[in-house]
Structure 1
Amino acid sequence: MAASAPLVSTKWLSDALGEQTSPSSSLSSSTSCTLRVIDATWLGIMTEGRDAYQTEHVPGSVHFDLNQCRDKTSRLEFTLPSAENFAKYVGELGIDNETHVIVYENDPIFRMMSAPRTWWMFRLFGHDKVSVLDGGLKQWKEDGYAVESGDESVVDQRVFSAKPANPSLLKNFDEVLENQKTDNFTLIDCRQPEWFDGSMDSIWPNLPLGYILKSINVPFSSMVRSDSDRMVAREDILKLFQSAGIDLTQPLVSSCFVGISACTIALAAYVVGKEDVAIYDGSWDEFCKSAPKDSHVIIPAPKL
């Protein structure tokens, strides 16, 4: 399957939806559907993104719930589901291996985080026909396109065959720890600078602040425009990596608090031609709980 463009515009999506062989309802029910729009809004482990979806969403889209599509048995806050569980979940959303998946989100604070995570998960399990709607629901509305509210329409379940997780797109704890000796790859920590240096309270109450030694801070938010929810221009992405001392010709791994916003860095790198950025799925959550003390820095919480 040929890989799809990592980003699509609102006009592209509107035109593609208009070219469906059936009326707009076919997005939810037609067996000939080759396009599936999913709303991946995720507002935290204790908050249902589905509430935001029910308030407003792209017509015909279905909700992809990252709180459900994860390994609920893990001791970590958030981690990947198995390939089998991923396949079952996305098949229930009416997605098969021929479907072009368009994913967006509607997060007023972090703006571009859960959509890239969902995009990366599809690619990890062998489905490259997936794109992110540049600018998300906010851009969709600003460009004058309609939204709807309420629950999803019933979709016809499909069979999705997931491949084993692509090892070139995923790193585990042992590999990240060993890298401190081998320097096989550059580790990016994409959290906000205030969480990297400990000057602001952790967004995850049970996780201390700190960083993995040798990691380089490249905030994921820097990849999003200041005046919209769209990704910054290609030349600006290149400048951001260059200014941080990141060599895009070398192996890169991205991490964050729990493995979600790290995927924004992978998406940005893909846009400029670096298609193999791996994600450390356990990220700081796993490393700060499991790694030797001399491999990372724990920063005391700021005093009030």
Structure 2
Amino acid sequence: MWNAKPPSSPVVPPVVDVEWLDQNRKNVVILHVSYDPHCDLNQKDFVKTYFDDVDKRIQHFTSVQYQIGHIPNAIEFSLNCATYPGRTERFYLYNQSEVASYLQKLAIYPDEHIVVYSTGPYNGMLYAAKARWILKVYDFCKVSVLDGGLYAWEKAGKALTKEVTVLQPSTLIPRRMNMQEHITLSELADGGHREIPILHDLERWNFIDCRPAAQYQGTAKPRQFTHIGDKAVGSFIQYSKNLPALKVISTNGLMAKKEDIEKALEQAEYDGKFKTILFCYDSLQSSLVGLAMEHAGYSAPRIFTGGLFEFEIRMPHYINGQYGYPLY
């Protein structure tokens, strides 16, 4: 089962704390994860300007925060460089040969223990969780997230540096794309080897929407769905469950305790008998909830990365759940 607790522990812990990282800095690779959420390049313009020029991508998307100060020896990992904007998905994945030029610049290898951290939403955990998920797709299985991100590191009085680590590029080309933790809209909508497509059988799935409760319930302003006007008559997909990503972060900005994550799953009506698929609007919040589930001892769930952004464009009629009204 996708969501059952695994029989053995993962190769490395999904989450590590500041003291662990400080004591093990010389034995791990550290990636400072950055992301520019205000980048408004569409797929056509991005592909024309940056797709085939990794150096131009790196130069354009180098973050100010990384330049101001980062953990010593940390290498910048940009979500804007590791993915590209698509027509129906915010974070399109490059194939192995396409992403190789970027991964080679980072000089990282799958057999190394990598620790990712960031700044930004959810105390620096949001972008780091997405980076971890991306690296796992490219078969980097030993990736941990720094609990509390750069904020926790600074709060503990640890050193920062402006020095940029210069590395000899690797020759790595990922062997494969590990899609075991990924699912597409086509897989959700088509029966394939299943007698009943997943979207027609959601009562027997943990199909969990990780957006804030106000967005799920349709009370958030402004309205989230902007591409389809009145075509979305509701605010969620019927028979989806809601586990806001904020519930897996504690009030002190660190990952919630394992028992609190289990409680949040229980409140979301998670059922251990069923398989789990996580999604949100653009896959960031769902990646964070997936990280929390692994931290609490559950097997890694599958992530629908297209999220409601893709539903909004391709299948808006599925966004028809109205909070407080009976499902049909």
TM-score norm. by structure 1 comes to 0.83
Structure having the higher helix fraction is: 2
Give me the whole-angstrom Cα distance separating, in 2, the residues matched to 1:73 and 1:269: 28
Alignment of 1:118-267 (within 5 A): 118-149=131-162, 152-177=164-189, 178-183=197-202, 185-200=205-220, 201-202=222-223, 206=227, 210-228=235-253, 230-267=254-291
Whether contact under 8 Å (1:71, 1:82) holds in the other structure is: no
Give me the whole-angstrom Cα distance separating, in 2, the residues matched to 1:110 and 1:204: 26
The structure-2 alpha-carbon separation of the partners of 1:108 and 1:291, relative to structure 1 and needing over 3 Å to count, comes to: closer
- Specify which of 251, 267, 270 is matched with residue 294 of structure 2: 270
Give me the whole-angstrom Cα distance separating, in 1, the residues matched to 2:92 and 2:273: 28
- Give the drift of 1:212: 2.0
Q: Given residue 127 of structure 1, which amino acid in structure 2 is its aligned partner?
A: F
Whether contact under 8 Å (1:171, 1:278) holds in the other structure is: yes
Whether contact under 8 Å (1:189, 1:219) holds in the other structure is: yes
Percentage of matched positions with identical amino acids: 23
The structure-2 alpha-carbon separation of the partners of 1:10 and 1:202, relative to structure 1 and needing over 3 Å to count, comes to: farther
Give me the whole-angstrom Cα distance separating, in 1, the residues matched to 2:151 and 2:173: 32
1:220-258 deviation line (CA, Å, top 9, x unaligned): 111111122x10001111111011111245311111111
Whether contact under 8 Å (1:188, 1:255) holds in the other structure is: yes
SS, match of residue 144 in structure 2: strand
Whether contact under 8 Å (2:238, 2:321) holds in the other structure is: no
The reply to whether residue 9 of structure 1 matches residue 32 of structure 2 is: no
The structure-2 alpha-carbon separation of the partners of 1:39 and 1:207, relative to structure 1 and needing over 3 Å to count, comes to: farther
The structure-2 alpha-carbon separation of the partners of 1:77 and 1:204, relative to structure 1 and needing over 3 Å to count, comes to: farther
1:146-177 deviation line (CA, Å, top 9, x unaligned): 11236x33222113342433332111112223
What's 1:23 paired with? none
What's 1:27 paired with? none
- Give the drift of 1:139: 0.5
SS, match of residue 31 in structure 2: strand
Whether contact under 8 Å (1:104, 1:136) holds in the other structure is: yes
The structure-2 alpha-carbon separation of the partners of 1:59 and 1:253, relative to structure 1 and needing over 3 Å to count, comes to: same
The structure-2 alpha-carbon separation of the partners of 1:133 and 1:175, relative to structure 1 and needing over 3 Å to count, comes to: same
The structure-2 alpha-carbon separation of the partners of 1:288 and 1:205, relative to structure 1 and needing over 3 Å to count, comes to: closer
What's 1:112 paired with? 125
Alignment of 1:66-105 (within 5 A): 66-72=79-85, 74-105=87-118
Whether contact under 8 Å (1:40, 1:115) holds in the other structure is: yes
Whether contact under 8 Å (1:180, 1:213) holds in the other structure is: no
Q: Given residue 74 of structure 2, which amino acid in structure 1 is its aligned partner?
A: S
Q: Given residue 280 of structure 1, which amino acid in structure 2 is its aligned partner?
A: F
Q: Given residue 218 of structure 1, which amino acid in structure 2 is its aligned partner?
A: L
User: Would you say how many aligned residue pairs link Structure 1 and Structure 2?
Assistant: 280
Give me the whole-angstrom Cα distance separating, in 1, the residues matched to 2:178 and 2:114: 19
What 5-or-longer segments of structure 1 have no aligned partner? 21-33, 300-304
Give me the whole-angstrom Cα distance separating, in 2, the residues matched to 1:45 and 1:203: 16
Give me the whole-angstrom Cα distance separating, in 1, the residues matched to 2:278 and 2:63: 27
What's 1:41 paired with? 34
SS, match of residue 261 in structure 2: helix
SS, match of residue 117 in structure 1: helix
Cα RMSD (Å) of the superposition?
2.5
Whether contact under 8 Å (2:117, 2:124) holds in the other structure is: no
TM-score norm. by structure 2 comes to 0.78
- Give the drift of 1:129: 0.9
1:33-92 deviation line (CA, Å, top 9, x unaligned): x62111113241429571222222111111111112113454433322223333332221
What's 2:58 paired with? none
Whether contact under 8 Å (1:43, 1:49) holds in the other structure is: no
